[in-house]
Amino acid sequence: MNAPLLNDTFIRACMRQATDHTPVWLMRQAGRYLPEYCATRAKAGSFMGLATNVDYATEVTLQPLDRYPLDASILFSDILTVPDAMGLGLSFAQGEGPKFAKVVRDEAAVAELAVPDMHKLQYVFDAVTSIRKALNGRVPLIGFSGSPWTLACYMVEGGGSDDYRLVKSLMYSRPDLMHRILAINADAVALYLNTQIQAGAQAVMVFDSWGGVLADGAFQEFSLAYTRRVLSQLQRSHDGVVIPRLVFTKSGGLWLPEMADLDCEVLGLDWTVNLGRAREQVGGAVGGPGKALQGNIDPNVLFAPPEAIATQVRHVLDSFGKPHTDLNNSGPTHIFNLGHGISQFTPPEHVSALVEAVHSHSKKLRQTA
Amino acid sequence: MNAPLLNDTFIRACMRQATDHTPVWLMRQAGRYLPEYCATRAKAGSFMGLATNVDYATEVTLQPLDRYPLDASILFSDILTVPDAMGLGLSFAQGEGPKFAKVVRDEAAVAELAVPDMHKLQYVFDAVTSIRKALNGRVPLIGFSGSPWTLACYMVEGGGSDDYRLVKSLMYSRPDLMHRILAINADAVALYLNTQIQAGAQAVMVFDSWGGVLADGAFQEFSLAYTRRVLSQLQRSHDGVVIPRLVFTKSGGLWLPEMADLDCEVLGLDWTVNLGRAREQVGGAVGGPGKALQGNIDPNVLFAPPEAIATQVRHVLDSFGKPHTDLNNSGPTHIFNLGHGISQFTPPEHVSALVEAVHSHSKKLRQTA
């Protein structure tokens, strides 16, 4: 039996319910900018050593919560655990991005792909259960996965890419193979997220980190359609509690109108998007349908002095405008976040300034006429 | 006295005049994907050796025209010649991006910046004059520069960047210094482009390659405002002939409505933008004001087989729709291009398939009701 949720601000905002302040959490909030994270990682020996060890994963997930009054926690893991479980062999060389030992670039490699046995991802579900217990109801725990397209990018490229040449070559040359990869990825991601929910995740987020590199038309066909396929398979509640679903397409601002009918509660936005315009497009009205919006300050703001950070935080909150305050209806809400993961070079004390500014200014904003 | 222009399709489309086909040229059309370019570059010894030698620069500018029936040529040069002339010391290591020997990160370095003496860029103007002569009226010659913000990115970072951390740190911490850099860059770029026009450039393009990395609000203040400052200083004609001005902000599709009132003729678009929607937003009507649109196929389409390339070309042309055909009025026009520079790995014969498909399908498109 899990402890009752003491701070439900994030979950309420996901469900477009009124809150007394704008909840805030940060993508990659458990990460290298924190000295305590680096200490745990040194003990673990490697990134995957950290991610696959339940105690370490629990420890680093809770570290930012001990420093900052954040309104949500997110499972410490990687977006590429699913293709790793498919047998592609994920590794992280020191100071480099992810690498796969096997790549998926031809018909034979695609034919071998299948939805992986979830037992291979038991370390993730164990971490979810352990973190949930350690949180003891402080804040909700968000589970996550990469989107089908984003996973495909890494599976075809074999790692990060500047130009997505290989994955797009396959997509334009052999769309049939690409659709096959994406269908398997979508079913695997849905099963993975459902198993996280059963293990204790109180919300789930799909990171479509590379949807924004696609051309108009290709995005809808090769990314959005498979995010939809994931969402259609997700369970809506667990133990009688609704599980909000968040979708974040980095650089996807142009497609926001087409994302309005995704079967999810929250849309994440990067810093190029004007939150006020996004609210008009998809935020809905009080009493009507709509999406909660999450984002979207530039992580590089955190390199400015604290006063400048507070100014930029106010700018982002003000661009969304006053969230609705109607306790009897749902309506437009905002979840504050970065528009991308926090930089490893961020001074930790600057994060305090950001969180403080979000909480204080967002309370004031609710008091305006 | 320059030869009369034999193919004015590109210039007419820039001016929103009717043409019998959609003109096409490719960003970085003179480049490493062409074996003849690699041969000339080998003779020159280095990228800057190539760019600063009038004969070599002329030779490589004309190479793609000898292979493909392109409708425009573009000066072979680099977007970073202006900061090099400011004394920052540009170099290109083999297989790497640009590097500056000096960087601009503090008050002292900013204080030293000034609009450079155009004599230091004489090699560029000599190349323009030489290329124009060698073209002998085949197609028009486009001159270009990086945008003030794009130049500033490299000047502060000292080279390419994944996260723009240093330039954004300066921008958020010391906006006064950033504005000072951008003002100098804008005045330098305007003078540089005007001198290219006087040397023979028949159109000029501002590459705002990194405007799209900025947050909403910051883009308008730190990039768009200085592109405006450049445009306000450009001469509108030379020797009695109008000089079209093109602006391309990569990843700037969300700000298209705000770019509608830029004092230029053409807006470049990357592949994330739907050309039909862009036409509605800024293309204007027959007889009314508006912008010509340039773009926007994903360069990775060129890795697909020729039939797939032709399909994607038709998709892009169809998304713009039928250009106007009224010989007595200006109206919506499209200039076909990639949404970014061509990849060095592109098979040269695939470019033939693209150009052929643009010309043939765009003629058919004009015959539809």
B9-23 pLDDT tens trace: 999 999 999 999 999
B301 contacts A216? CB cut-off 8 A: no
A180 among known catalytic residues: no
Phi (first) and psi of residue A41, to 5 degrees: -65, -40
B298 contacts A215? CB cut-off 8 A: yes
Alpha helices in chain A (DSSP H): 9-14, 35-44, 47-51, 54-67, 81-83, 107-112, 122-135, 148-157, 165-173, 175-199, 218, 225-233, 256-259, 275-278, 306-320, 348-367
DSSP, collapsed to helix, strand or coil, labels residue A112 as helix
B67 among known catalytic residues: no
Distance CA A295, CA B256 (A): 22
Q: How much is the pLDDT for B10?
A: 98
CB contacts, 8 Å: A251 with chain B = 251, 272
Q: How much is the pLDDT for A37?
A: 98
Task: Look at strands A241-242 and A237-238 and give their pairing.
Answer: antiparallel
CB contacts, 8 Å: A300 with chain B = 163-165, 168-169, 172
Residue pair B156/B166 in contact by the 8 Å Cβ criterion: yes
A172 to chain B: closest CA residue: B304
Whole-structure pTM value: 0.96
Distance CA B87, CA B68 (A): 38
- Catalytic pick from B12, B16, B33, B78? B78
B173 contacts A300? CB cut-off 8 A: no
Q: How much is the pLDDT for A220?
A: 98
The identity of residue B50, as a single letter, is: L
Question: Is the pLDDT confidence value at B134 over 90?
Answer: yes
Distance CA B331, CA B333 (A): 6
Residue boundaries of the structural domains of chain B: 30-67+72-268
CA of A70 to nearest chain B CA: how many angstroms apart?
Answer: 23
Convert the pLDDT of each residue in B270-323 to its tens digit: 999 999 999 999 999 999 999 999 999 999 999 999 999 999 999 999 999 999
- Catalytic pick from B28, B138, B245, B279? B28
CB contacts, 8 Å: B315 with chain A = 217
Residues B272, B369, A255, CA angle at the centre, nearest 5°?
A: 15
Q: How much is the pLDDT for A368?
A: 82
CB contacts, 8 Å: B341 with chain A = none
Q: How much is the pLDDT for B97?
A: 87
| Residue pointed to by tokens 């006020």 | A276
Q: How much is the pLDDT for A138?
A: 98
CA of B219 to nearest chain A CA: how many angstroms apart?
Answer: 8
A32 among known catalytic residues: yes
Residues of chain A in Cβ contact (below 8 Å) with chain B:
163-165, 168-169, 172-173, 212, 214-219, 251, 253-254, 271-274, 296-301, 303-305, 308, 312, 315, 319, 339, 343, 345
Q: How much is the pLDDT for A95?
A: 72
What is the overall mean pLDDT for chain B?
Answer: 97
Number of DSSP helices (H) and strands (E) in chain A, helices first: 16, 11
Question: Is the pLDDT confidence value at B348 over 80?
Answer: yes
| Residue pointed to by tokens 């982002």 | A316
Q: How far is CA A177 from CA A83, A109, A184, B305, in A?
A: 16, 10, 11, 15
Residues of chain B in Cβ contact (below 8 Å) with chain A:
163-165, 168-169, 172-173, 212, 214-219, 251, 253-254, 271-274, 296-298, 300-301, 303-305, 308, 312, 315, 319, 339, 343, 345
CA of A28 to nearest chain B CA: how many angstroms apart?
Answer: 15
A251 contacts B273? CB cut-off 8 A: no
Question: Is the pLDDT confidence value at B345 over 90?
Answer: yes
Class of the CATH-defined domain B30-67+72-268: alpha beta
Distance CA B168, CA B213 (A): 10
B41 among known catalytic residues: yes
Handedness of CA A193, A199, A203, A208 (dihedral sign): negative
Distance CA B287, CA B268 (A): 22
Convert the pLDDT of each residue in B144-182 to its tens digit: 999 999 999 999 999 999 999 999 999 999 999 999 999
Give the largest Cα separation in chain B, rounded: 63
A172 contacts B304? CB cut-off 8 A: yes
Q: How far is CA A147 from CA A74, A180, A200, A252, in A?
A: 17, 15, 21, 13
In the CATH hierarchy, which fold is given to the domain comprising A9-367? TIM Barrel (3.20.20)
Q: How much is the pLDDT for B2?
A: 85
Convert the pLDDT of each residue in B191-225 to its tens digit: 999 999 999 999 999 999 999 999 999 999 999 99
Q: Which of B172, B255, B296 to mutate to test the interface with A (most CBs of A within 10 A)?
A: B172
Distance CA A335, CA A22 (A): 6
pLDDT in tens, chain A (369 residues): 788 999 999 999 999 999 999 999 999 999 999 999 999 999 999 899 999 999 999 999 999 999 999 999 999 999 999 999 999 999 988 777 899 999 999 999 999 999 999 999 999 999 999 999 999 999 999 999 999 999 999 999 999 999 999 999 999 999 999 999 999 999 999 999 999 999 999 999 999 999 999 999 999 999 999 999 999 999 999 999 999 999 999 999 999 999 999 999 999 999 999 999 999 999 999 999 999 999 999 999 999 999 999 999 999 999 999 999 999 999 999 999 999 999 999 999 999 999 999 999 999 999 987
Collect all residues with Cβ–Cβ distance below 8 Å to A260 and sequence separation of at least 6: A281, A282, A291
Q: How far is CA B134 from CA B10, B57, B137, B138, B194, in A?
A: 18, 11, 8, 9, 21
Residue pair B294/A164 in contact by the 8 Å Cβ criterion: no
CB contacts, 8 Å: B276 with chain A = none
Model confidence band, residue B8 (pLDDT cutoffs 50, 70, 90): very high
